[in-house]
Amino acid sequence: MSSVVLVERAGSVAIVTLNRPDKLNALNQELLAALYGTWSELDHDPTVLAAVLTGAGEKAFAAGGDIAAMSKMSTNEAKSFSDLGHTVLHRMESAHFPIIGAVNGFALGGGCELALACDFIYAADRARFAQPEVSLGVIPGFGGTQRLARRVGIGRARELCLTGDTIGADDALRIGLVNAVVPHAELLPTVRVLAEKIASKGPVAIAQCKRVMQRGEDVPLPVAAELEAQAFASLFGTEDQKEGMLAFLEKRAASFKGR
């Protein structure tokens, strides 16, 4: 794994840190490629049951794309850069484990889009969010025009994308962009506890729940309901289902094996 992306393992939880603090963790091709490799490696490790994504340093989660690099791009290079960003974010969404965004500071442009690819987001009280691309003469290129609307509604998303305005953590909570706001010093400890809680549940069920919710989001409700019913039924063929229900009846903690 690259030095621009750090990975720490704490049992079944992986802590993934964007590590360009001198550049406010701005997203360039090297970092995106390293991030794709990181998620691919973790997704092939069945012992990883939850992950946390955060940024190094005190100021930023990720302060957007690397403008110095982007300013020199041709049309074809910009398309390749956008494609790479979409590929990384799709890789996050298709991972077998949930990813919690721990936004510790600025999440601007591509940084906000990266957070939106997380299953949900906890923010430090000093976090700031924006899709400011129109101020640079472009638009979001890593899915911001699409994922933001799915998260906060089309009206809020249009307002943020068309004005480029920055909002604080409390406003992000109010519109549903983040799930919770906590003091900066408590962010990672809080999210670690949450990730460990998720990792203690049935791994096959967690993976199926993530998959069904994601796939069901963009199809008609009857189709989504059938996806859910099929996944629900399939879990009755797993050892985890038998252990989970037996543990409940025996009033003890379940010991899941992920199969």
User: Annotated catalytic residue: which of 58, 93, 133, 243?
Assistant: 133
The H-or-E segment that residue 27 falls in is: none
Nearest to 175 by CA among 157, 163, 190, 193: 157
- Structure tokens that stand for 137 in this block: 């003469």
Cβ-based neighbours of 54, under 8 Å, separated by 6 or more: 15, 16, 17, 18, 61, 101, 102, 103, 104, 187, 188, 191
- Whether the Cβ atoms of residue 148 and residue 116 lie closer than 8 Å to each other: yes
| 41 annotated active-site | no
User: Which residue is catalytic, options 8, 30, 77, 113?
Assistant: 113
Does the annotation count 133 as an active-site position? yes
**Residue 6 in tokens:** 């750090």
The tally of CA atoms less than 13 A away on the side-chain side of residue 134 is 13
Q: Please name the residue that has the structure tokens 């009280």.
A: 125
Alpha helices in the chain (DSSP H): 29-43, 67-70, 75-93, 110-116, 144-152, 154-163, 169-174, 187-199, 203-216, 221-234, 239-249
Cβ atoms within 10 Å, residue 90: 14
- Cβ 96 vs Cβ 75: under 8 Å: no
Question: Catalytic residue positions?
Answer: 113, 133
